[in-house]
Amino acid sequence: MTKKFKDTSITNIIVKTIILVVLLLFAISYIAILVWGFLTTLKSKASFEFDGNVFGFPSILEPEFYQLKNYKIMLENLDLVVKDSFYNAGKLVSVNIRVPFYMSIYNSIVYALGTAVLSTFVTCIVAYVCSKFKNYVFSSIIYMVNLFVMVTPIVGSSGVLMELLRKFGLYDTLTGIIIPGITFTGMYFLVFYAMLSDLPNSYSEAAEIDGAGRLRIMFSIIIPLVSKTISTVILLKFIATWQDYNTALLFLPSHPTVAYVIWYYTVGGGRSIKPELGSVPIQISSCMILALPIIILFIFARDKIMGNVSIGGIKE
Amino acid sequence: MNKNNTLPSRLGKSKRERDNKIFYYSILLLPILQFAVFYIYKNFEMIRMAFVKAEVAVENGIVYVKESFALFANFEKGIQFLTGHSYLLTNSLINFSLVTIPCSFLALIFSFYIYKKYFLSGAFRIVLFIPQIVPALIFSLLYRYLVTDGYIALTGANMGLLDNMDTIFPTILFFAFWHGFGLNVLLYTNAMSAINESIVEAAQLDRVNVLQEFIYITFPMIFSTAKSLWIVAISGIITDQLGIHALVGLSMSGRYQTLGYAIFHISSDLIRTPYDGTYMNMYELSAFGVFLTLILTPTVAIVKKLLDKYGPSVD
């Protein structure tokens, strides 16, 4: 066995130490700011804003600490009044609708889960047929189109997309926000393509000899083989979609998502509408609630998220 | 006679080929249809709208739109907007030079440290990924209160760093830098861990130091990953909102906006008034988008060519 060479030169030690110090600064700052944020959610408005207890510990005697009062106030007040327009007897009518917070949670779950699952599935099966049937003309076209889409930045098309969705009657609907996202293009196409190209044909050939059809081979053999990567990509996409408030702001004006509601009440102008949500500790509490599902997912699926994806292929 | 050339065998082959084709095209049908509508049609429509103007009339609450050919009028409006707000491009380029490039460089260095499994590397790998896991809105808000309430409490200043016109832009740039490289670290470390260990061991026997190993072995081996990320990052020049939206909402002073933020701001203005926005209508926005795309696409192509030509070789 080769004995590993350990470089103890001055260059090595200096370089490692400098990187270590910088890394420590970043790591400590990420953790410290989250801890500070969490402690702030346990402080009262008076303590934070008037007594100047910005960096100190919360008082255990205040209900904000022992009753988690800020979280309660926040959950009771995150409903949102939105404007909806529709035609009634040929006339455009606008009405105000109060959307309870649980509906925002529902919208977020449908949007994040729908987009993540469907787009990952579509990307995977398109990558599969393109890697399996490389000699078909569409396979190379799709591969090239994907590269083109990835390196061609197109901006300013959101106005057109709004019009397009309006024409289809899909604007301001959950279906209308999910369908444009179910595309096979993007980085994950390359990830699936590289991995599926590396799979030996012997698996599907053996199944074919046993009489399995192509769909059965795909669903019973190929997809289980790449299930780890599929779940990783779904998780990454879910996380990205769950925290996306921009899309909801543009395309779901009367069906707010959790991320949008929280953005609206923290920086989007909603503070003046609901003064009870205006204090700093409550504002931070509302943000913490946005992180909760993602932190739970991360705790249970950390290894999947961190280890399975690379642009050149997949590490299994 | 060749056994594979018999009639039943040929019939079997053609049936198999036919089944393959049916399977292939039926799988691709819906994804291609989706792509045709939401990419090809959408972008062609954007190009068409770039050359069109609209007259709008409202009768009995119903909106009637009459479109006519506008030649380059919408492009002129877009170019006027850009020249009248030249700071948008300047700010975007400052962001690219001071945030995107240094972040990418640091991500490479940090990934190398983690890949080499130096002291605390496992913990760093997780902690550096935190900004990707914890919603950006949370980090933005915490940062915002830290540099306003926190800064005032610490220094006794009259106003926070985001309230002061002299400090707002550097404060936002610092946030983007501090928050910006989690996913890159993940992709780089995964790419580095795929490097063949025997190459590294051979180099170590030749007593290369850590810098030489990075420059001559690790970086060339992961260059294709780095290249992909850099090319995507160039697109960020016109799309990156710099986190402004999450830090200060829609009320950011124009002087410190980036192109990405301005475009989003214009788009959000079109939700209710697509034909008559405050800054541009949707036809003018389309022309503006086409114009920016026409500038950036060749830039991306040139950078890709240069990276292909002058980038390090695996050999």
Using only C-alpha atoms, chain A has a radius of gyration, in whole angstroms, of 25
> CB burial class (10 A; 0-12, 13-18, 19+) of residue A47?
buried
Partners of B199 in beta bridges: none
Measured in angstroms, the CA of A184 and the nearest CA of chain B are apart by: 7
Write down the pLDDT at residue A64: 80
For the stretch A100-122, pLDDT in tens is 999 999 999 999 999 999 999 99
Assess whether pLDDT exceeds 90 at residue A14. Answer: no
CA distances from B238 to B46, B177, B299 (A): 17, 17, 12
Look at B142 and A54 and tell me if their CB atoms are within 8 Å: no
The arithmetic mean of pLDDT across residues B49-69, rounded, is 82
CB contact under 8 Å between B285 and A48, yes or no, is no
What's the rounded Cα separation, in Å, for the pair A134 and A131? 5
Rounded to the nearest angstrom, the minimum Cα separation between A182 and chain B is 8
Tell me the C-alpha distance between A253 and A267, whole Å.
Answer: 17
What pLDDT score does B315 carry? 61
- How far is the C-alpha of A118 from the C-alpha of A107, rounded, in Å? 16
Q: What is the pLDDT of residues B164-200, one digit of tens each?
A: 888 999 999 999 999 887 678 878 888 888 888 888 8
Q: Do the Cβ atoms of B60 and A268 come within 8 Å?
A: no
How close are the terminal C-alpha atoms of chain A, in Å? 26
Residues of chain A above pLDDT 90, percent: 31
Among candidate residues A22, A119, A258, A49, the one with its CA nearest the CA of residue B30: A119
B266-300 residue pLDDT tens: 888 777 677 777 788 888 989 998 999 888 888 88
CB contact under 8 A, B45 and A164: yes
Candidates B131, B144, B260; nearest CB to A30: B131
Read off the pLDDT of residues A61-102 as tens digits, 9 standing for 90 and up: 888 888 788 999 888 888 888 877 666 666 667 788 899 999
Interface touch B135/A290, C-beta < 8 Å? yes
Give the domain A100-307 fold. MetI-like fold (1.10.3720)
pLDDT digits (tens, 9 = 90+) for A235-288: 889 988 998 888 888 899 889 999 999 988 888 777 778 888 888 899 899 888
Distances (CA, A) of B121 to A20, A82, A89, B220, B227: 9, 47, 66, 22, 24
Q: Domain residue spans in chain A?
A: 10-73, 100-307
Q: Would you call B187 and A311 a contact, using CB atoms and an 8 Å cutoff?
A: yes
Among chain B residues, the shortest Cα distance to A288 is held by B138
Q: Cβ B286–A295 below 8 Å, yes or no?
A: no
Residue B9 to residue B305: CA distance in whole angstroms: 48
Give mean pLDDT, residues B159-163.
90
| Strand duo A80-88 + B62-69: pairing | unpaired
For residue B129, list chain A residues with Cβ-Cβ distance below 8 A: 305-306
Q: Collapsing DSSP states into helix, strand and coil, what is residue B88?
A: helix
How far A207 CA sits from the closest chain B CA (Å)?
14
- Picking from A253, A268, A294, the nearest residue to B249 by CB comes out as A268
Q: For residues B160 and B146, is the Cβ–Cβ distance under 8 A? A: no
Q: In 3-state terms, what secondary structure has residue A254?
A: coil
User: Distance from B61 to chain A by nearest Cα, in Å?
Assistant: 5
CA distance B229 to B31: 25
Q: Which of A275-279, B42-46, B84-88, B170-174 has the lowest mean pLDDT?
A: A275-279
pLDDT digits (tens, 9 = 90+) for A43-67: 998 888 888 888 888 888 888 888 7
CB burial string A80-89: b at 16+ within 10 A, e below: bebeeeeeee
Q: Which residue of B has its CA nearest to A2?
A: B201
Is the pLDDT at B104 greater than 60? The verdict is yes
A19 chain-B contacts, CB cut-off 8 A: 109-110, 113, 118
Contacts of A209 (CB under 8 A, 6+ apart): none
Chains A & B: contacts with CB separation below 8 Å: 301
Which of B251, B141, B176, B123 is closest to A243 using CA atoms?
B141
Q: Quick check: A52 and B153 CB within 8 A? A: yes
Q: Is A152 helix (H, G, I), strand (E, B) or coil?
A: coil
Cβ–Cβ below 8 Å for A23 and B153 = no
Q: Which residues of A touch B293 (CB under 8 A)?
A: 152-155
Give yes or no for A55 touching B (CB within 8 A). Answer: yes
Amino acid at A179: I
